[in-house]
Amino acid sequence: QKEVEQNSGPLSVPEGAIASLNCTYSDRGSQSFFWYRQYSGKSPELIMSIYSNGDKEDGRFTAQLNKASQYVSLLIRDSQPSDSATYLCAAFNYGGSQGNLIFGKGTKLSVKP
Amino acid sequence: ETGVTQTPRHLVMGMTNKKSLKCEQHLGHNAMYWYKQSAKKPLELMFVYNFKEQTENNSVPSRFSPECPNSSHLFLHLHTLQPEDSALYLCASSRTPNTEAFFGQGTRLTVV
């Protein structure tokens, strides 16, 4: 069973701090990785995609990928209360006829003012 | 106008009813998906269509029936559902199956 694992949290950080969200995946052949943010009662919203080893930065967000360790992370700098949400990690997995996007259960982040 | 639009946003149906969920995407994508999101569970992929052809069916009960008339529209036909089918049903689309997927607002389904 191919899986994406996340700590469910809640992860609580003070406003202005760095929030670090982690994700591991079981399928070594996974090639594409995504982070989504989901506010309560809303649908997932894409934040970042990362396809190669290393760091990718976009504003206050940095995604990190380490394929050897099968590990993906998301750093949120200068965390704001509006960042409080559930963060979903997803990995594209080549199985079946076209492959599937497999999601973790999500990590709930709470940013305290 | 959002890229992926789902209707209705909320639906309450009895176990003997037949209803349909609709999804439309304006992004020019070729792949469309149905996901189910239940409390305390990860997003579950139900169906994948790529260039209007169904490519994945993850052991979904036959009471859920998808239809993809063209690359921009996707339906999920529902009949004789069970209370445990109550969940948030999300439609998504992507340019290709291994690129970024964008979600609609979802349909909150309650089966009574």
Q: What is the pLDDT of residues A55-73, one digit of tens each?
A: 999 999 999 999 999 999 9
Selection from A72, A109, A111, A71 nearest residue A87 by Cα: A109
Q: What is the pLDDT of residue A97?
A: 58
SS3 A28: coil
User: What is the bridge-based pairing of β-strands B18-25 and B4-7?
Assistant: antiparallel
Is B99's CB within 8 Å of A46's CB?
no
Whether B109 has its CB under 8 Å from any CB of chain A: the answer is no
pLDDT tops 80 at residue A99: no
Which of A96, A97, A101 is closest, CB to CB, to B101?
A101
- Please judge whether A92 and B98 are an interchain contact, meaning their C-beta atoms are less than 8 angstroms apart: yes
Q: Name, of A18-32, A51-65, A90-104, B85-99, the range with top average pLDDT.
A: A51-65
Please indicate if any CB of chain B lies within 8 Å of the CB of A106.
yes
Q: Looking at chain A, list the stretches that DSSP marks H as alpha helix, in order from N- to C-terminal side.
A: none
Q: Contact B98/A4, CB-based, under 8 Å?
A: no
pLDDT recorded at residue B57: 73
- Sequence-distant (≥ 6) Cβ neighbours of residue A16 within 8 angstroms: A78, A79
Mean pLDDT of A6-14: 92
Q: Is the pLDDT reported for residue A17 higher than 80?
A: yes
Residues 6 or more apart whose Cβ sits within 8 Å of residue B108 = B9, B10, B11, B88
Low-confidence ranges of chain B (pLDDT < 70): 1-2
Does the pLDDT value for residue A96 go beyond 70? no
Residue B23, strand partner residues: B6, B74
Interface test with B, best of A26, A50, A98 (most B CBs within 10 A): A98
What single DSSP character describes residue A105?
-
Burial of A19 (0-12, 13-18, 19+ CB in 10 A): buried
- Measured between beta carbons, which residues in chain B are less than 8 angstroms from residue A102? 42, 45
> How far apart are alpha carbons A107 and B5 in whole angstroms?
26
Q: Which pLDDT belongs to residue A98? A: 62
- The b/e string for B57-72 (b: 16+ C-beta within 10 A; e otherwise) is eeebeeebebebeebb
* Shortest distance, CA A105 to any CA of chain B (angstroms): 4
pLDDT band at residue A95 using 50, 70 and 90 as cut-offs: low
Asked if residue A89 has pLDDT above 70, the reply is yes
Q: Is the pLDDT of residue A7 over 90?
A: no
Set of chain B residues whose Cβ sits within 8 Å of the Cβ of A4: 42
Cβ–Cβ contact B48 with A under 8 A: yes
Question: A58-88: b or e for each residue (b if 16 or more CB lie within 10 Å)?
Answer: eeebbbbbebeebebbbbbeebeeebbbbbb
Cβ burial of A13 (10 Å; 0-12, 13-18, 19+) is: middle
Residue-level pLDDT at B2: 67
Q: How far apart are CA A10 and CA A1, in angstroms?
A: 26
